[in-house]
Amino acid sequence: MAAKKQESNSKPKKRNRNPDANTNPDSSSFKKPKHVSSKPENKPVEKVFKPFKKTFGKVKSLSGEEKKTPLSKRERRIHAKELTEARKKRRKQHYTLEQELARLWEKMRQRNIAKEERSKIITEAIQKMKGKIPEIASSHVSSRVLQTCVKYCSQTERDAVFDELKPHFLTFASNKYAIHLVTKMLDNASKKQLAEFISPLRGHVASLLRHTVGSVVIEHAYQLGNATKKQELLMELYSTELQLFKDLASMKESRLVDVISKLNLQKGSVSRYMASVIQPILEKGIVDHTIIHKVLIEYLSIADKTSAAEIIQQFSGPLLVRMIHTRDGSRIGILCVKHGSAKERKKIVKGLKGTVGKTAHFQYGSLVLACIVSTVDDTKLVAKTVIRELQTILKELVLDKNGRRPLLQLLNPNCTRYFSPDEMASLSLSISSLNAMGELEVNRETKSLKDEESSDKDNSGRDVTMAEADGSASSETLQLVEGGKKDPSIRRQELLVGSGLAKNLIDMCSENAEELLRSNFGKEVLYEAATGGSGGILQQTLGDELNALHEAIASVAAESKSEGSEKEHVLENFHSSRTIRKLVLDNPAFAATLWKKALSGKCEQWAQGHSSKVICAFLESSDAMVSKLAKEELQPLINRGILKLPEKKQPANEG
């Protein structure tokens, strides 16, 4: 029975047909649903997109009834503007005043306006703002009006604005609109007003430096303050005692090490407090300000080995590029390059990618590049990242005071002619806590070099070459204790010759010999390139190119002397004549080329003025042949009194 029941249930039931369906042939053939409702079916209707809702205005008809008519586009725009104005008036307390000030600002900020007219408008604006300046200074409109007023108003009006803002300086220091007004007030403040502004910052320097906007105000005050005010701002970042007690902060000692020794402060406590101040600032990436660079330098002077290594690790990358434009920032960069590991140096060099040319033009950024080319052992990476970018702008760098420094560091390392005493001190900086480790590594390397020398001496007989390499490395390694492990002469050879920099530099000097000779800065690069660099590093592999450079310089000097020309001859120009004289004294090959091509038989016309110093230099040439030829031609000129030599350099007259 159950099986039969299941079979009956599984069979599909046939729907009963409508008996009228067959009788009516014109009826449709589709099936009707089971349940047909008496209500009409609701079919979906496609809605037409309406871009805006029409606004209707009320218009009275003749019968007195009100009819709604749609507004035009202009009327809708006016209506929306009225609604916006009403909303702003409800939201902003001084909205009407700001609108009036904006209209006055459009007049006062014009460049072609008369001073009397501008003063009249500024006075009117200040009168409208009187008593409300602290309330409207945070607005992006009113702050701009106040900046223009402070810039062009009289001193009395400026003092009135300063007095109103003085109680609120600390609040405005962290406002993104009011900050511009504060910095403008500082630029135009007197010494007394500047002191009144800096005093409320006491106790808040560290917190403001952690603020993206507030740090700008602290930096501005630090730049404008004198040495005493700068010291007050810095002392607050050193220790809690110096922050609480004002008398301790007012002292003559500027270095943190001296402050600790004088006040008997605990070095570890000061280091921990400074770390708690510095770390949040670095985590936020606020590293562009000089006050932060100064604090970091002082911190590295007392930090232990672990703390100093952490700071170096944090700056190993693109973050360092934002710091090296200042004196202390470049020193931090130099310390990171010298004390960083090979991996950290690699990050620093890669972080400079794309900014090498710009960095080379900075006074302090060029020092970091000079440190990199004389320290980093990975010469392939340096050549790919640094040297390649320098090669694209060689002429521009050679003619620039700062841009030529990385090139001069490679041609003649650590030369005092090209680096000032302060810059040499920056290049020789080191961290005391990491210095001992560096000395141990250098002593270990020196010992291994000596062992290799003795083994080479016993086995292969190459004792002379190894002794020369060891002698050249020992002096430079002692000078830069924290430098790389590679021999400095090998590093220079790979960066100068191996990368193709030297060849491109010599070719550029040959093409622009006259311009470089007359240049105050280019003449020094030309001199170093023409002499083959320190130790004659270029003479072994680029002898033909150097001879071509000597020929190019001699060709410029061999040009005829024209009296009507406005341009001085290179032998009579101040800069070029001294450069040629130095080349004659220091490079016998150039002296011989110049004598044969430009001066032989023509010395009488160059016996006066700056050119006489070039001719006299041939008598002191180390090349005996050139000196003999020059003496034969110059001695008659000396006897006739045409050519005058300095008293110490006059040769004995061979009667």
Q: Which residues contact 403 (CB under 8 A, 6 or more apart)?
A: 360, 361, 366, 393, 396, 397
Q: What is the pLDDT of residues 490-536, one digit of tens each?
A: 999 999 999 999 999 999 999 999 999 999 999 999 999 999 999 88
Note the pLDDT of residue 46.
54
Note the pLDDT of residue 292.
95
Q: Which residues contact 331 (CB under 8 A, 6 or more apart)?
A: 297, 426, 429
Helix, strand and coil percent figures for the chain, each rounded to 5: 65, 0, 35
Q: What is the pLDDT of residues 592-634, one digit of tens each?
A: 899 888 888 787 788 788 888 888 888 888 778 878 878 877 7
Note the pLDDT of residue 466.
29
Angstrom distance (rounded) from CA 489 to CA 537: 8
Q: Which of 611, 617, 547, 551 is nearest to 582 (CA)?
A: 617
Q: Is the pLDDT of residue 342 over 50?
A: yes
Q: Is the pLDDT of residue 28 over 50?
A: no
Note the pLDDT of residue 274.
93
- % of the chain with per-residue pLDDT over 90: 40
Region 348-367: mean pLDDT is 93
Q: Is 3 helix (H, G, I), strand (E, B) or coil?
A: helix
59: β partners: 67
| Total-model pTM | 0.76
Q: Are 510 and 552 in contact (CB under 8 A)?
A: yes
Q: Is 71 helix (H, G, I), strand (E, B) or coil?
A: coil
Bridge pairing between strands 56-60 and 66-70: antiparallel
Structure-model confidence comparison of residues 486 and 290, the more confident one:
290
Region 538-566: mean pLDDT is 87
Q: How many CA atoms lie within 13 A of 492 on its CB side?
A: 24
Q: Where are the alpha helices (DSSP H) in 199-289?
A: 205-209, 214-224, 227-235, 240-244, 246-249, 256-263, 267-283
Tokens 């099936």: give the residue: 31
Angstrom distance (rounded) from CA 292 to CA 305: 21
**Worst-scoring range by mean pLDDT, 137-141, 453-457, 466-470, 596-600?**
466-470
Note the pLDDT of residue 348.
94
Q: Is the pLDDT of residue 81 over 80?
A: no
Note the pLDDT of residue 34.
52
Angstrom distance (rounded) from CA 391 to CA 506: 12
Tokens coding 2: 């159950």
Note the pLDDT of residue 332.
95
Whole-number Cα distances in Å, 4 to 8, 10, 13, 196, 459 = 6, 10, 15, 107, 110
Q: What is the pLDDT of residues 233-270, one digit of tens each?
A: 898 898 887 776 666 556 666 788 888 888 888 888 99
Buried b (16+ CB within 10 A) or exposed e, 26-55: eeeeeeeeeeeeeeeeeeeeeeeeeeeeee
Note the pLDDT of residue 58.
52
The number of residues in the chain equals 655
Tokens coding 332: 């931090």
Q: Is the pLDDT of residue 476 over 60?
A: no
Averaged pLDDT of the chain: 80
The torsion angles phi and psi of 210, rounded to 5 degrees, stand at -80, -10
Angstrom distance (rounded) from CA 334 to CA 371: 6
The pLDDT confidence band at residue 647, using thresholds 50, 70 and 90, is: low
Tokens 């190119």: give the residue: 545
Segment holding 57, helix H or strand E: strand 56-60
Q: What is the pLDDT of residues 168-215, one digit of tens each?
A: 888 898 888 889 999 999 998 888 889 888 888 888 999 999 999 999
The pLDDT confidence band at residue 97, using thresholds 50, 70 and 90, is: confident
Note the pLDDT of residue 1.
44
Q: Is the pLDDT of residue 124 over 50?
A: yes
Q: Is 428 exposed, middle or buried (0-12, 13-18, 19+ CB in 10 A)?
A: middle
Region 549-555: mean pLDDT is 93
Note the pLDDT of residue 251.
64
Angstrom distance (rounded) from CA 576 to CA 570: 5
Angstrom distance (rounded) from CA 238 to CA 230: 13
Q: Are 220 and 179 in contact (CB under 8 A)?
A: no
- % of the chain with per-residue pLDDT over 70: 78
DSSP code of 309? H
Whole-number Cα distances in Å, 385 to 359, 370, 417 = 13, 14, 28
